[in-house]
Structure 1
């Protein structure tokens, strides 16, 4: 990992998907770690979208084209959010595969100091059935993992 004494910025990897929880996590992170500091932000930001692999049995291009389109929309939304906060120096990546592996691999590849993820807010049963990417990354990523929860507003 880069040392802050050497003048190099540390790397923050942020997981981005199509859910509002990711948008919230990105906005929350930009407001706290980037916007107040401008060019002196303490991190280089790398936004990663894990694009699912198309089913191997499918021979038509339809699902793969749709997956690419979805990934492009997610990255465009991330660019839009970053632009609205005047954060322009961001690396955007789309990687194909299971999000758990993609994110842990990105942390290693970028030698990240921190991984930021939005929480989908699944209950215990849904988490047990679907699995939790954030739980997996918290156990396996080679850096600190910050899970940003979207507040629940009461009427």
Structure 2
């Protein structure tokens, strides 16, 4: 099976979109991350859901997780409101190139790239690094690779 057959046409966001919109798309579609496009529509990177969680949690709590116990629900609500004021560009921590394959890549090539780049998904691009065909998520790839019980 080839990447082009596995690719799912999933939602995307642009660098200047709201980080909250990205989070909502990820949750609505049950995704481990979302493809990020540049202003001209070219794939840039995959924004993992974990990066959005990192953006939600106040810095001092990231440094000292024991502080999380003292935060109340109102503080959590303010954290979510803060996400609405930030762009995808501001929360992307993975600044390296997009994990991508062409449509003819094998299942093993996709798995190796995900493992090497720690990416929850790989983008499947058309010929010669062209347009985004879709994403292959780690969960979907595991479904294909694992034998049925």
TM-score normalised by the chain length of structure 1: 0.26
TM-score normalised by the chain length of structure 2: 0.26
